[in-house]
Amino acid sequence: MDGIILVNKEKGMTSRDVVNIVSHVCHTKKVGHTGTLDPMATGLLVICVGRATKLVEVLTSHQKEYIASMIFGIKTDTKDITGTIIEQRETHMKSDQIKKVINNMPTTYQQEVPIYSAVKINGKKLYEYARKKEEVTLPTREVTIEKLQIIDWQEQEQKLTFLTRVSKGTYIRSLVEDIASHLNTIGTMTELIRTKVGHFTLENANTISEVKNNSYKLYSIYEILHEMFETRIITGELEKKVLNGAKIDNPEQLETVFFINEQKEPLALYKKEEDKLKCYKMLKIGIE
């Protein structure tokens, strides 16, 4: 079985739990996802099965969209409400203050990676440092906030809900703290829903029950890549070159090309390299 299953992860489950369920249902260990969701978070997980696991890297690089809620006046060690409270203070944020900061947040900046994350430093995951209470310098990474929009503001509860579309590697827990910092206060994330990964949407996701009952939709590699990239049907000598992973001419100067045969079978993904096209992912069944 080769393809992609969209799953609506439930609260309390790890992303690994979902992978294990899909692996059991599909009778294969060749299963991966395109971006972890914390146990407290819900929403869209893009699960790649079989030969589609070759696309994990391709799909992980896509923008993701979330709806997040945060509360001002609380700071936790994990940057979300499941953690231990390490600071509290009274806050009196007003609607105009919130709007001003949301409208003026930098679109691209260096974001600090949370200590409770799986990012590795010197071969050890950051959360391992945190659990052992060992000091470590937290890395930063450049992130881009493509969209940041207020959905709801409850002044009495000092609770903000917003929609955001972000680049790969953005931590929404850190974005929440960054928003609070721009207001000269503290805050922590209380809820998180992932609503989009690239052009995949939560509305099209299967529930865990549907997956377990084998009533899920499996998107083929052709369906997925045909929507994402320029697609070209090839035959003859050009098909042979592509199946051999050879560099080929790029007269259209395309950035990425999805090659298929006349039967619409996926052959390979090619990317632009100087004035040529170079094999990026070989997809033909029987060829590794």
Among 230, 252, 241, 250, CA closest to 282: 241
Written as six digits, the tokens of 222 are: 């052709």
- ∠ CA 114-112-145, nearest 5°, is 110
Q: Which two tokens stand for residue 125?
A: 């995951």
Residues serving a catalytic function are: 38
Structural element, H or E, at residue 253 = none
Contact 243, 267 (CB under 8 A): yes
The SS3 of residue 199 is coil
Burial zone of 137 (CB within 10 Å; 0-12 exposed, 13-18 middle, 19+ buried): exposed
Q: What span, in angstroms and rounded, lies between the C-alpha atoms of 86 and 60? A: 33
With beta carbons less than 8 A apart as the criterion, state whether 202 and 193 touch.
Answer: yes
By the 10 Å C-beta count (0-12 exposed, 13-18 middle, 19+ buried), 76 is classed as buried
